[in-house]
């Protein structure tokens, strides 16, 4: 490995963790990969290596699943009092709060996002997610079922599904880890967590904090690696449920494998979300909100508002205002406190985004703003980019880019909006900007999306279900729907005669 290059802006705590020798977390022990393989994780702001990470192979997956199975079958986790399980999950939330600055810096270093954003969104919401699900263990209840047979008792039990393999993406590493582990832990499941190979640091730190919080060894195991590692986890016969957030392409493969094995599966996948500004909207609010909808997290969000529909009479005004905002947005390293937009995650992602920009030009879309890399930088930067187009069938208007690229499209009649917005393989999110409450709710009913935002974008809560229609996923996360994905229902019949 090339010698790590850690930015001067890192605090002592973040520097100490990033610079240490990293190990897998299996059964409460920090261990190297069985075959000794490692890989580099890079700082996307500089393209320099920041840490050497163990590359888990099939033998490591076997060890991790065995540890999770042992903890599930013979450990105390599912048998302890529900109040004690809730208390330990709450202690993990406390630990995240206590290490908020360190975690935010590690996320900014490994992912590239602005450190202020990492702290107020990723870290704060990770803690909030765990606190929400800490309230669930004492509310997991069965029912007594009234039946017509005399002298028969029928009741149900809600039981944890078992060992869960959880694979998380690189765009919100710590937050997505909390989305996955919080309901699983609340249900009494045990977990093998695999972070994306681009962003392993906060998942490894989370595993340490879980042990420090008193969560028993083997309940949360963390293995690092690439798609090979994830595939071994999905295919392992000892895994009862798979939860995955990532691309639709990989999600289809995972869904097919889980289907053949009849494993429980939750998939939160891609999107090409439509955002509609109606003629009566508060334009200042709509412009500001639409800008954030696409450029938040450098466009690397599954629910990014990447298709913007604006009435033809207001189109030039809205596009001009968005272009002006894009032009003054400060692009830079995530650890720079003045940065508003960080790099994309990798050289491959940068190339993908720039290929789409070139495709948009070649297809006839008009490039209004951005489209270039950051001059004088070796990092993976892409300027906030804005296209206008008059055709919905352009690739930049139909395919998920996962970068800071917005396509603005004019419309003439409200009647055409729902059909155009829904003309997509995806259905994760949609937005409507209007002062007319009736129009807002009429469109909300017509739009085929798992989340519809009215005069806002991207709001969420640990208690509110999140997931997609069509190719945007299977199942829901958050709230009772998210918890139910980690529970089985057992029906018990007893004769009282």
Give me the active site residues, please: 268, 302
Question: 417 — phi, psi (to 5°)?
Answer: -65, -50
Where would I find the beta strands (DSSP E) of 278-358?
307-311
Q: What distance in Å separates the CA atoms of residue 276 and residue 418, rounded to the nearest whole number?
A: 10
The H-or-E segment that residue 452 falls in is strand 451-454
Q: What distance in Å separates the CA atoms of residue 37 and residue 49, rounded to the nearest whole number?
A: 16
The answer to whether residues 464 and 326 touch, using CB atoms and an 8 Å cutoff, is no
Q: What distance in Å separates the CA atoms of residue 145 and residue 48, rounded to the nearest whole number?
A: 61
Where would I find the beta strands (DSSP E) of 203-351?
220-222, 241-245, 264-268, 274-277, 307-311
Residues 6 or more apart in contact with residue 336 via CB below 8 angstroms: 9, 114
Whether the CA torsion 215, 80, 168, 34 is positive or negative: it is positive
Gap between the terminal Cα atoms of the chain? 72
The answer to whether residues 277 and 266 touch, using CB atoms and an 8 Å cutoff, is no
For residue 37, give the 3-state DSSP assignment.
Answer: coil
- Half-sphere exposure of residue 342: CA atoms within 13 angstroms, side-chain side: 29
Residues 6 or more apart in contact with residue 360 via CB below 8 angstroms: 367, 387, 389, 394, 395, 396, 405, 407
360 φψ region: left (φ > 0), alpha (ψ -120 to 50), beta (else):
alpha
Question: 93 — phi, psi (to 5°)?
Answer: -60, -40
3-state secondary structure labels for all residues of 325-343: HHHCCCECCCCCCCCCECC
């Amino acid at each position: 490995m090339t010698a790590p290059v850690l930015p001067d802006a890192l605090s002592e705590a973040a520097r100490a963790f990033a610079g240490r020798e990293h190990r897998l977390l299996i059964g409460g022990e920090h261990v190297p990969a069985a075959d000794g393989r490692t890989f580099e994780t890079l700082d996307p702001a500089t393209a320099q290596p920041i840490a050497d990470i163990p590359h888990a192979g099939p033998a490591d997956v076997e060890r991790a699943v065995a540890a999770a199975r042992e903890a599930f079958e013979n450990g105390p986790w599912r048998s302890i009092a529900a109040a004690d399980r809730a208390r330990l999950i709450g202690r993990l939330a406390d630990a995240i709060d206590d290490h908020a600055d360190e975690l935010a810096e590690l996320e900014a270093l490994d992912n590239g996002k602005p450190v202020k954003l990492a702290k107020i969104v990723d870290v704060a919401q990770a803690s909030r997610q765990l606190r929400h699900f800490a309230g669930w263990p004492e509310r997991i209840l069965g029912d007594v079922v009234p039946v017509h047979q005399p002298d028969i008792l029928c009741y149900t039990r809600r039981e944890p599904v078992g060992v869960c393999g959880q694979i998380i993406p690189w765009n919100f590493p710590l937050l997505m880890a909390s989305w996955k582990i919080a309901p699983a832990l609340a249900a009494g499941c045990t977990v093998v967590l695999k972070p994306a190979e681009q962003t392993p640091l906060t998942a490894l730190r989370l595993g340490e904090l879980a042990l420090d919080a008193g969560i028993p060894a083997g309940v949360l195991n963390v293995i690092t690696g690439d798609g090979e590692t994830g595939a071994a986890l999905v295919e392992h016969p000892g895994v009862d449920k798979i939860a995955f957030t990532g691309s639709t392409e990989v999600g289809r493969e995972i869904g097919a494998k889980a289907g053949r094995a009849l494993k429980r599966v939750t998939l939160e996948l891609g999107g090409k979300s439509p955002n509609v500004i109606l003629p009566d909207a508060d334009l200042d609010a709509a412009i500001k909100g639409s800008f954030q909808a696409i450029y938040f997290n450098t466009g690397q969000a599954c629910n990014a508002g990447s298709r913007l529909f604006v009435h033809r009479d207001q189109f030039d005004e809205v596009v001009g205002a968005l272009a002006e905002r894009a032009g003054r947005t400060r692009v830079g390293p995530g650890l720079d406190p003045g940065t508003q937009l960080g790099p994309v995650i990798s050289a491959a992602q940068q190339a993908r985004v720039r290929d789409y920009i070139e495709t948009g030009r070649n297809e006839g879309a008009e490039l209004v703003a951005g489209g270039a890399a950051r001059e004088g930088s070796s990092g993976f930067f892409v300027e906030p980019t804005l296209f206008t187009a008059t055709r919905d069938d352009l690739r930049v208007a139909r395919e998920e880019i996962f970068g800071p690229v917005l396509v603005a499209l004019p419309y003439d009649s409200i009647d055409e909006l729902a059909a155009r917005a829904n003309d997509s393989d995806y259905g994760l999110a949609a937005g409507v900007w209007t002062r007319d409450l009736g129009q807002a709710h009429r469109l909300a009913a017509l739009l085929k999306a798992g989340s519809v935002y009215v005069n806002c974008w991207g709001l969420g809560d640990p208690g509110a279900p999140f997931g997609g229609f069509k190719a945007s996923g299977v199942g829901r996360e958050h709230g009772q729907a998210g918890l139910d994905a980690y529970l089985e229902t057992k029906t018990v019949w007893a004769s009282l005669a």
